[in-house]
Structure 1
Amino acid sequence: MNPRHTLLGACALAMLLAGSAAWAQSAGAMDHSGMPGMDHGAMGHGPAPAPAMDHSGMDHGAMNHGAAPPAGAPPVGSLPASDGEGERGYDSYGIHPHMMDNARTWQVLFDKFGVARNRDGQNSLEWDGRFWFGTPTDRLLIKTEGERESGGGSDGKVEAFWSHAVSPFWDLQLGARRDVGTGPKRNWAAIGIEGALPYNIELETTAYAGPSGRTALALKAEYDLLLTQRLIFTPELEASLYGKNDPERGIGSGLSQGSLSLRLRYEVTREFAPYIGVSFERKFGQTARYAADAGASRSQTAVMAGVRYWF
């Protein structure tokens, strides 16, 4: 036999075998399981591909692919990253980042500090701030809120609490309140709860009891809607209820007043954010009658501008 023909034939046979093996492996259509006597290892095809794994019966939770969120936690991503106590400092599972170290720390936060101008052309200075010192579970908490009008009138309150975390989302608060500003000063014992509802709606509810059988209830709720990473829209609702009339301070029993504010802030940094907004306030019942007798309006609309900051 001609050696050239033998060499060409061997090359052709090798190319044919290699092409057949590649085709069988890629197509996966040939089933050799029913062909006895075939030794794939001896044919030089290499080890057979591993069979496909059936994952239907596997417990992925046991494989530590990621810890499941705590029971009752809001959906992942529903809470923004911590940027101060105003957002309560929880991660996406609602766990406070300092819960483990219990170190003492402090913070000053002014959610509102600016001016407002109502439809009567009067200006006023408004503030809503807090200071706390302590651990994530037990703190001294001081709150202050109020306004001072350009005409000289003012209204405000200062509160001091022992704040104790009863869950990752809620703090129980025990303390006292003092009303300041125009009219006689009033002192109250206070008990309240403050925390974050699902989807990071922040809620404060405080009940008060004072001398001469006075009682009161204050409610506040707000929500931060992130329009961008720096632009944040915050609607806020407040309501006050009293158990009896207090003519000297112009307060009537029942639902005394309610307000809605809409603020848009831009975070130059996480600690410093100018805002603009509008507020609507309405007095009800006997409180509205006291205001009318004093020549004041029962409802008021104002535009506001200021800065939110913390350190």
Structure 2
Amino acid sequence: MKTSITDVAAEAGVSTATVSRVFSHPERVSEKTQQKVLDAAKKLNFYISRSAAVLKSGQTKRIALLVGSAQIDWFTGLIIEGLNHVFRDARYDLVLYPITTLDERREFFDTLPLRGNVDAVIVSSFAISPDEVSRLQEAHMPVVGINVLDTTGFTASVSIDDFEGTALGLHYLAQLGHQHIAFCYENFGEGLHFSSTSRLDGFVQACEREGITYSLIHFSPDDAVFDAVYSALSAPEHAGATALFFHRDYTALAFCVRFREMGMRIPAELSVLGYDNSIFADVVGLSTIKQRPREMAIQAAEKTLRLLEGDESAATHDVAPVQLIVRSTTGAPRE
């Protein structure tokens, strides 16, 4: 005969309500009592049906995470780590939805309200349209952003100020004496509008404010970064640049490694500044603008749980700090 919740309660010496709380809301039960119930459940080979728990609570205990890439890069990896750090203890599963094409994007927002298989949506690093916002609102669920370009329609968000970050980096390079700086960025084309695109606008505004000559070097995600940037430097509009400011570390690191392989010196011949403080930035000695995706994800997850509990005070849009990290790839311009 299948073990019942009554059997577990009798074995643990507690009420059936306490057993139910241990499996549905463990934070409401002392650790000592939790352990007694779990030990009894293990001894009696008892388990709670997830589907039954969902039907009873009206929640799926799943959170959707939308990311704009099929690859788990440094940033997304830390976002997942931070979210799971909070959701795991709250007994929520995180479901990853890579949104890489317009068709995938359209399908997700068209069918999510009908499926109703998640309790909240977290969007990482790209903007959603007013129509997509209304689709999510039809589903009556919190929509929380992490590093989103525009918070319109989001219930809550945690983002860095990319304008502040680029201004911080530009001011530092100007103080070193650089008077012509090239900004290097990936052109992702139509479709997803990533938050990092605002770094380009921030760079241009900061240069104009500081009176710095600037030029823009763009390349596609399919280009070899070094070849694209190095060949662009021979063009007249870029020829006077003494520093390169990359919109993310990934591309800056690729350039630095290849530049050094060719026997050229950084920063003696060219200063390089990145953005992110990602993995390997310290190993290569890359000066960069630091952001903290894991900490932002933890804050976003905590907001999400509070919103699911009806706490409207969690519906805020917070700005996380950025920091200049100076290493060996930046210095005064060459004579």
TM > 0.5 fold call: no
The structure showing larger relative contact order (alpha-carbon pairs under 8 Å, at least 6 residues apart) is: 2
The structure with the greater share of residues assigned to helix is 2
Whose Rg is larger? Answer: 1
The structure with the greater share of residues assigned to strand is 1
